[in-house]
C-alpha cells in the first residue's frame, strides 16, 4: 500500500505472512498527514483476529505523537499479539523519550519478534 500524504512524503506499508504472523513493513515518515494507512492496516488485522502481528519499523524515517497514538491504540486492540520490531534510530529515541520502550513490546529484529 502506498500513501502520498499532503506534504508529498510517501510512505509504504507492505504486508506479508511468515510463520502464522502478519508482518507489516513500514517505510517512510510517519506523521499526522501520513500515519492513517498504518492505523487502518493495524485496525484491519485486529478485526481479522490475527494471532500475531509484527510491525517492522526499520525503515521509518520520522515519527511524531500521531504515530505513538496509533501504536498505543493498536496495542489496546491487539494486546500481546502486537510486536514492534527493528525500530529505526528515530523511533528508538522517540520510544525512550516517551517511556514507551517500557510499555510496548519491542524487539531488535523481525526474527526475534517472530520467535518470542
Please answer whether residues 50 and 40 qualify as being in contact, where contact means their C-beta atoms are separated by less than 8 angstroms. Answer: no
pTM of the model: 0.90
Report all structural domains of the chain as residue ranges with CATH numbers, in order of start: 2-115 (3.30.750.24)
Q: Which residue, 45, 19, 95, is CA-closest to 37?
A: 45
Please write the tens of the pLDDT for every residue from 96-109. Answer: 999 999 999 999 99
Please write the tens of the pLDDT for every residue from 16-30. Answer: 999 999 999 999 999
Please answer whether residues 18 and 52 qualify as being in contact, where contact means their C-beta atoms are separated by less than 8 angstroms. Answer: no
- 80 secondary structure, DSSP code: G
Q: Give the three-class secondary structure for 2.
A: strand
Q: Which long-range contacts (C-beta less than 8 Å, at least 24 apart) are formed by 99-104?
A: 100/68, 100/71, 100/72, 103/75, 104/71, 104/72, 104/75
- The burial of 63, by beta-carbon neighbours within 10 Å (0-12 exposed, 13-18 middle, 19 or more buried), is given as buried
Please write the tens of the pLDDT for every residue from 39-88. Answer: 999 999 999 999 999 999 999 999 999 999 999 999 999 999 999 999 99
pLDDT at 10: 78
Amino acid at each position: 500500500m502506498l500513501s502520498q500524504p499532503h506534504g508529498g512524503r510517501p510512505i509504504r506499508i507492505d504486508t506479508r505472512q511468515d510463520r502464522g504472523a502478519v508482518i507489516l513493513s513500514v517505510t517512510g515518515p510517519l506523521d499526522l498527514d501520513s500515519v492513517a494507512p498504518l492505523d487502518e492496516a493495524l485496525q484491519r488485522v485486529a478485526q481479522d483476529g490475527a494471532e500475531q502481528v509484527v510491525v517492522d519499523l526499520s525503515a521509518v524515517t520520522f515519527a511524531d505523537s500521531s504515530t505513538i497514538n496509533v501504536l498505543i491504540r493498536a496495542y489496546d486492540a491487539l494486546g500481546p499479539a502486537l510486536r514492534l520490531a527493528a525500530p529505526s534510530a528515530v523511533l528508538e529515541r522517540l520510544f525512550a523519550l516517551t517511556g514507551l520502550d517500557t510499555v510496548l513490546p519491542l524487539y531488535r529484529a523481525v526474527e526475534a519478534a517472530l520467535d518470542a
